Amino acid sequence: MTAKVAIVMGSASDWPTMQEASNILEQLGVEHHVEVVSAHRTPDKMFDFAAQAVDNGLEVIIAGAGGAAHLPGMIASKTRLPVLGVPVQSRALSGQDSLLSIVQMPKGIAVGTLAIGTAGAFNAGLLAAQILANHDPKLAAAIDTFRSEQTQKILNAPDPRVP
Ligand code: RP5
Atom of ligand 1 at shortest range from CA of 65: 4
pLDDT confidence of residue 22: 98
Q: What is the CATH number of the domain that holds 65?
A: 3.40.50.1970
Residues spanned by the domain of 30: 5-156
Q: Where would I find the H helices in 66-114?
A: 71-76, 96-103
Q: Is residue 163 part of a domain?
A: no
Q: Give percent above pLDDT 70 in the chain.
A: 100
Residue ID of nearest Cα to ligand 1 atom 13? 11
Does 147 belong to an annotated binding site?
no
Contact 128, 62 (CB under 8 A): yes
Measured distance CA(69)–CA(44) in Å, rounded? 16
Q: Is residue 88 part of a domain?
A: yes
Residue ID of nearest Cα to ligand 1 atom 7? 66
Contact 110, 76 (CB under 8 A): yes
Q: Is the dihedral of CA 133, 5, 63, 104 positive or negative?
A: negative
Q: Ligand 1 centre from 91 Cα, in Å? A: 10
Residue ID of nearest Cα to ligand 1 atom 14? 10
Q: Is residue 97 part of a domain?
A: yes
Residue 1 has pLDDT above 90, yes or no: no
Q: Ligand 1 centre from 88 Cα, in Å? A: 9
Instruction: Report pTM.
Output: 0.97
Counted residue by residue, the chain has a size of 163
Contact 131, 82 (CB under 8 A): yes
Q: How high does pLDDT run on average in the chain? A: 98
Residue range 106-121, pLDDT digits in tens: 999 999 999 999 999 9
Atom of ligand 1 at shortest range from CA of 40: 14
What's the gap between Cα 62 and its chain centre? Answer: 3
Residue range 4-38, pLDDT digits in tens: 999 999 999 999 999 999 999 999 999 999 999 99
Atom of ligand 1 at shortest range from CA of 14: 6
Tell me: ipTM over 0.90: yes
Q: Indicate the number of domains in the chain.
A: 1
Measured distance CA(16)–CA(162) in Å, rounded? 30
Confidence of residue 163 (pLDDT cuts 50, 70, 90): confident
